[in-house]
Amino acid sequence: GDSVTQMEGPVTLSEEAFLTINCTYTATGYPSLFWYVQYPGEGLQLLLKATKADDKGSNKGFEATYRKETTSFHLEKGSVQVSDSAVYFCALSDRRGGSYIPTFGRGTSLIVHP
Amino acid sequence: DARVTQTPRDKVTEMGQEVTMRCQPILGHNTVFWYRQTMKQGLELLAYFRNRAPLDDSGMPKDRFSAEMPDATLATLKIQPSEPRDSAVYFCASGLSLNSVNTEAFFGQGTRLTVV
């Protein structure tokens, strides 16, 4: 079945540091890939997405590139802020029985210190 | 601003009691998902509906959990009887899934359930 593996956290960084959160996936089809962010006490919000190989999703300074050859979708940001502290989820959406079903990784907690 | 609405936001109940969680999906979305989030298991897919029909509920404990969509504006997740191990945050999400269109899942804010 489909699965998503992402690096365990927490990831602790100082403000303005470079961020990478690794994500790899296994899928039977040709999935779309997503990064979601969850702030304390809230639901998941879409951060960025990519629907085909070599697509780059970007939003709020975050980027991720769909790498089909390495089945990866790593999240990067050049300079993190304290307000980026949250839990980040990598996900894929693959067709199953006529519907697209999201499958999520375990989440990676990011803590950014001033 | 369209959003998925879940009620209640928090629920504390005693073991053995019935719990009903409600979700209003985004208007026009045809797919609804129920997820459970715990520290131990992460996000688990419990059930999902397409065009109000249940397609898969294999993630749910069948003896105590049930999920329904009485109409297009309401999805419910019921636990009867509740147990302490059901304590978790339950999320509803909706999306649009057609042959050529597949939106991302839009999440509600969740219901935090505590069973004592």
Cβ of B50 within 8 Å of Cβ of A98? The answer is: yes
Strand partners, B31: B50, B95
CA angle B69, B83, A43 (to 5 degrees): 55
Cβ of B102 within 8 Å of Cβ of A32? The answer is: yes
Cβ of B107 within 8 Å of Cβ of A103? The answer is: no
Cβ-Cβ contacts under 8 Å, A39 against chain B:
none
Whether A99 shows a pLDDT value over 80: the answer reads no
Cβ-Cβ contacts under 8 Å, A45 against chain B:
107
Across B35-68, b (16+ Cβ under 10 Å) vs e yields: bbbeeeeebebbbbbbeeeeebbeebeeeebbbe
Q: CA of B17 to nearest chain A CA: how many angstroms apart?
A: 25
Q: Region A55-71: what's the mean pLDDT?
A: 97
Cβ-Cβ contacts under 8 Å, B4 against chain A:
43
Q: CA of B89 to nearest chain A CA: how many angstroms apart?
A: 10
pLDDT of residue A5: 96
Q: Region B32-47: what's the mean pLDDT?
A: 93
Strand partners, A24: A5, A72
Q: CA of B9 to nearest chain A CA: how many angstroms apart?
A: 10
The tokens describing A65, both together, are 């590139």
Q: Which of B104, B107, B111 to mutate to test the interface with A (most CBs of A within 10 A)?
A: B104
Q: Which of B35, B55, B95 sits opposite A97 (nearest CB)?
A: B55
pLDDT of residue B49: 93
Of the pLDDT bands very low, low, confident and very high (cuts 50, 70, 90), residue A1 is: confident
| Residue of chain A minimizing CA distance to B47 | A101
Cβ of B48 within 8 Å of Cβ of A101? The answer is: yes
CB B7 within 8 A of CB B113: no
Q: CA of A67 to nearest chain B CA: how many angstroms apart?
A: 19
> How does pLDDT run across B42-61, given as a tens digit for each residue?
999 999 999 999 888 888 98
Phi, psi of B57 (to 5 degrees): -130, 30
Q: How does the average pLDDT of chain A come out, rounded?
A: 94
Least confident of A2-11, A38-47, B95-104: B95-104
Greater model confidence, A82 or A41: A82
**What whole-number percentage of chain B has pLDDT above 90?**
79
Q: Region A48-61: what's the mean pLDDT?
A: 95
Nearest 10 degrees: Cα torsion A73, A77, A83, A85: 50
